[in-house]
Structure formats: structure tokens, C-alpha cells
Amino acid sequence: MADEADIANDFIDSEVSRAIGRLRQSQSMPNAAGTKTCVECGEKIPDPRRKLGFKLCIECAEEMERRKSRFADY
């Protein structure tokens, strides 16, 4: 009898922790987040920057801005 109760508790525990895990995963990975590494050069993007939705490292973002302003001159 005690064994059955233990098995039931284990089952509930695993169900609950799985549900919490799913919840945490969906909260820590919003769709708006950027990529872990720069899509241009593969450089690691710092977490705070990535969470703002950036997909480029600072250097590539600056390079992109320079290119944009050069086009704007025409």
C-alpha cells in the first residue's frame, strides 16, 4: 500500500515539475528574443542585448548603421 502511494506521489511530482518546466521555458524564451550569436559574424551576443531582440553583435550593428547612412547620402 505504501508503495502505491509513493508511486502516485512520484507521478504527481513529475507532472507538476514538467508543467513548471514548460511554463519557465515559455517565459524565458519569448519569440521577440534575438539570437544567441551574431547572424553576421557568429560572435556571442550578451544576454541583455539578445533579450532586446538583437540578432547582430554591437560591431555588426554599427557596421549596418554605417552602411544605412551611406545609402541615405544618395
Site of interaction with Zn ion (CB under 5 A): 38, 40-41, 43, 57, 60
Residue (9 or 35) nearer to Zn ion, CB:
35
Q: Kindly state the smallest distance separating residue 2's Cβ from Zn ion, in Å.
A: 59
Kindly compute the dihedral angle of the four CA atoms of residues 33, 36, 42, 48, in this order, to the nearest 10 degrees: 70
Q: Kindly state the smallest distance separating residue 39's Cβ from Zn ion, in Å.
A: 8
Quick count: other Cβ atoms within 10 Å of Cβ 58? 13
User: Are residues 34 and 52 in contact, defined by beta-carbon separation less than 8 angstroms?
Assistant: yes
Q: Kindly state the smallest distance separating residue 29's Cβ from Zn ion, in Å.
A: 22
